[in-house]
Amino acid sequence: MSIQSSFSTSKYQVGLIGVGVMGEALISGLVSARFPKAQIVFSEKRSERAREISTKYGARAVDLTDLVKESDVILLVVKPQDLGELLAAISSDLKRGALLVSFAAGKTTTFISEKVAAEVSVIRVMPNTATLIGLGMAAMSIGKSVTEEQAKFVSDFLATCGKVISVDESLQDAVTAVSGSGPAYFFAFVEEMIKSGISLGLSSDEATTLAIQTIIGSAAMLEQSGKTPTTLRENVTSPNGTTAAALKVFGDSNLGEIINKAMTAARDRSQELA
């Protein structure tokens, strides 16, 4: 059975707490997979934003208490520092056997489980911003009391927004460093490519077009060629050529060490948020 077929007949009532950019992306993924709009509710304090989401996707804006009482699956798309207070506010109203899916960086399933009833299941997810265009990367970790059906539902709906893998929760901080924060590293690198292109005489438009299309094509080659990044790099690097000259500068500047230090810092910060 396809994801769309299984979603269109789903028995779950899904509630979202937090309909910012990521929350909206998740609603969009559910709707695009033919999940019944009548079974999607959300809580939003800003009336203008609530009307916008309801009009765009057909989901219903409801009071937080009603959302918690009604929902079988609750997506917690809130900032890590707000999660504890939120859980304290909703814990007494959660359905028996409800599933909480947390998108809060650094917060463990144990942190959540300790604040809710024993019958409540918990899954932790680290997505990234490409979820907004259906090309996201998400890693999920199963907490206590999660059924096979619940895990499949979450995996399937995350797949509507890109790719998803399951990892041991001990690896979630590493996931954050690689894919959660990863888009920002990529954007920063492209920023510098564009700046350098301009410094070498290209116009801003020219440098931007050249850099972005180069990155798009390179990413497609990584996905479609079946070759490793190392092989693809070697294929484009002629001995003593222009690419070799550029890569030597990267090597002399310890690019690998810089990347490792940056990703380790991201991992460490994720652990601090726990």
What's the structural domain count of the chain? 2
232: closest CA among 214, 257, 207, 252? Answer: 214
pLDDT at 5 over 70: no
Residue 217 in domain: yes
User: What average pLDDT does the segment 242-249 reach?
Assistant: 97
Are 223 and 128 within one domain?
Answer: no
State which residues form the domain around 238.
182-272
Are 46 and 149 within one domain?
Answer: yes
- The first and second tokens of residue 258, run together, are 């810089």
Are 141 and 49 within one domain?
Answer: yes
22: closest CA among 131, 173, 121? Answer: 131
- The first and second tokens of residue 49, run together, are 């934003």
Are 139 and 18 within one domain?
Answer: yes
Are 136 and 154 within one domain?
Answer: yes
Are 15 and 130 within one domain?
Answer: yes
Residue 177 in domain: no
Q: What share of the chain is helix, strand, coil (3-state, %, to 5)?
A: 60, 15, 25
**Domain CATH number, residue 194:** 1.10.3730.10
Please list, in sequence order, all residues whose beta carbon lies within 8 angstroms of the beta carbon of residue 238, skipping any fewer than 6 positions away: 244
Residue 112 in domain: yes
Are 38 and 104 within one domain?
Answer: yes
Residue 62 vs residue 6, higher pLDDT: 62
Which of 147, 172, 197 is where one domain is finished?
172
Residue 4: predicted pLDDT: 65
Q: With bands split at pLDDT 50, 70 and 90, how would you rate the model's confidence at 166? A: very high
Residue 273: predicted pLDDT: 84
Which of 139, 172, 205 is where one domain is finished?
172
Q: What digits encode the pLDDT tens for the residues 13-29? A: 999 999 999 999 999 99
Which of 172, 205, 227 is where one domain is finished?
172
Are 83 and 197 within one domain?
Answer: no
**Domain CATH number, residue 154:** 3.40.50.720
Are 127 and 203 within one domain?
Answer: no
Residue 61 in domain: yes
Q: What digits encode the pLDDT tens for the residues 180-210? A: 999 999 999 999 999 999 999 999 999 999 9
H or E segment at 86?
Answer: helix 80-90
